[in-house]
Amino acid sequence: MTKIYYAGEDKVISSEKIDNDSRLSIFTNKAYFTVPLGKASRFDGYFVRDKGELFKILDSLDFQTIDFLHPEKVVNVGNSFTLYHGFISSSFYIDSETGALLYESNSSLTFRLNFDVKRMFDEREWGRFYDLKRVRDTLWVLHFVKKTDEREDSSSGMKEFEKFVFIKVHGESKRVDSWKLRKYDYDLERNSPKHERYVFSALELKTNRFMILVSNNYEEGYNLINARFKVFDKITKTESSFNLNRVSRFEEVNFAFSRAQHSLLALATEDYLMAGLPWFYQEWSRDEALSLKALVISGELNKTKKYMENLLNNIYYNGKIHSNLHERTTFSIDALPWLFHSISYLVRFADKENISAYLFSNKFIKTFEDSLIKTLDFIEKYHIKGDLVYTEEHESWMDSSFGKDKRKGFLLEIQAMYMYLYKLAYALTGNEHYRNMENKIRIATVNNFYDSRLLYDDLENRFFRPNIFIAYYFYPEMLSYLQWRNVFDEAIRKLWLPWGGFTTIEKSSELYCPRHTGEDIRSYHRGDSWYFLNNLAAIAMYKVDKTRYANYIAEIIAASTKDILWLNALGSASELSSAEFQTGQGAFNQAWSNATFIELIHELMGDL
């Protein structure tokens, strides 16, 4: 059994047991590297980010003299991890400046490097050309070219892209030049094709140190790897440093909070916040907007403001914003409420810290106010029916359809979000129209959604779902204290999971799926428990009655802490869990899961 340790300054914590599908991980905004301790995925390995895309580079390492994937212990610290096999240690780092992958060991070990250079989602087998050359005794370059092939494409021989992969070795190295079939059992379980693929075994090394650096240009890559290899020790020292935030009296919570901040900032590119790795590396407006408050808490004020400005500049004429700002297909109706909520928080934070004059320009404040007013004008003109806001299919965060569950029409949390926006607009302008609209939506929402102890999720199917917590988060004025308490009590009865989370649909529903179904969407919003929503639920329960719900809040914190430290990609918050028992599944490093945990612990700091 592998034991996992986290190190930070003068503190160390360790696990008792690690889930079979856990993976060692390093995430930065330029590259990521994961090593599976159990079932392998084609999304494990070394990936680099280039112009908004992710490219896989290295699939795996095959060690000859040690059981590499079954170490006795592992130590995670900063952008690095170290595996121990007896007295042998093997450490991996990512250079946050260049995205290069570094390895060092206290022994000279023999292993092969298996490459699979491709765009992340490209599963084509043909048209992959590897040209391996030794540049110096210690330096190799693997020139990869992807071309179209008539066996899979409409053309043949057309160049799509090329990469220069430089491998600098301190030790012996020899050419292998062979193909190896890799099987991906983790993807098979997730119903995620393809489950096997041939990868290129390029080199066999006998070394205690190497570096891999990827470039689109030979000369630039050649010069850069030689320069960075000279400061190898400086890089490893920098990337193995870690700032532990002592936010509570519980060491595991402190480490989880610090790792969540570290993992969230690893998703923060120069221009936007990635929604999650590996699959959601694009700019997803809802995920980004929801996570901005945690960036403020983490001290990234200028970067947060830049992200906000970018989102404000992408508001569409219909009062919405595209869900994915790279693909621009579907719209999100809830991304802008999250954005305006986060901007409002940043403005209040800046006022409290007396930095408003430094942080905000008049143009930013005017853009914020104008965007809010224009959004409400468009929503009122196109999307309000009978004093309620109407949502099209796939526009809310629960954007997967299955059976009769299409989640369209009048949705609870959307009403709460727009009541909040009208309240904010009235506060900014003093215009009575906005207060009147707020009251109209509130009355219509209570009359149509509230029934004694129940607050229904939608008016078409009248499901009961944990979106009640998002509704409270945005607009607690909707109901009285006693009414909210009754609604939350009913949510616990119908939705609570013994391991410390909420299912996404009541357990009595015919649509309820107790186990995660992977890329088959049946369980996605019909059973799976989402860590971001659990964290928001804990915040809502804390604000309603922290004494009454203390045990549930504590169990959510414990479950989210367990996920970050001991499940899935170790040190990062997962996307979701099965309902029946706790798992770390979905994306390895999900922005809003990290962000809402940061927000939750920040909210409770005085009581932890």
Sequence ranges of the domains in the chain: 3-239, 244-272+480-608
Flag residues of the chain having pLDDT under 70: 19-20
Burial 492-509 (b: 16+ CB within 10 A, else e): eebbbbebbbbbbbbbeb
| pLDDT reported for residue 19 | 66
Query: At 192, phi and psi to the nearest 5?
Result: -120, 95
Distance CA 274, CA 590 (A): 9
**What is the secondary structure of 332-399 as a DSSP string?**
ESSHHHHHHHHHHHHHHHHHHTT-HHHH--HHHHHHHHHHHHHHHHHHHHHTEETTEEEE-TT-SS--
| pLDDT reported for residue 117 | 98
**What is the secondary structure of 42-65 as a DSSP string?**
TT-EEEEEETTEEEEEEEEEEESS
Q: What is the DSSP letter of 605?
A: G
Token pair listed for 110:
């023999």
Class of domain 3-239: mainly beta
Q: How many CB atoms lie within 10 A of CB 197?
A: 17
Residues 6+ apart with CB under 8 A from 496: 502, 552
Residues 6+ apart with CB under 8 A from 480: none
Distance CA 204, CA 329 (A): 45
- Exposure of 457 by Cβ count < 10 A (0-12 exposed, 13-18 middle, 19+ buried)? buried
- Strand 450-451 and strand 454-455: the pairing is antiparallel
Distance CA 419, CA 388 (A): 10
Distance CA 510, CA 514 (A): 11
**What is the secondary structure of 427-483 as a DSSP string?**
HHH--HHHHHHHHHHHHHHHHHHEETTEE-SBTTT----THHHHHHHH-GGGS-HHH
Distance CA 345, CA 292 (A): 9
The pTM assigned to this predicted structure is 0.97
Residues 231/238, Cβ–Cβ less than 8 Å: no
| pLDDT reported for residue 608 | 85
* Per-residue pLDDT tens over the stretch 410-445: 999 999 999 999 999 999 999 999 999 999 999 999
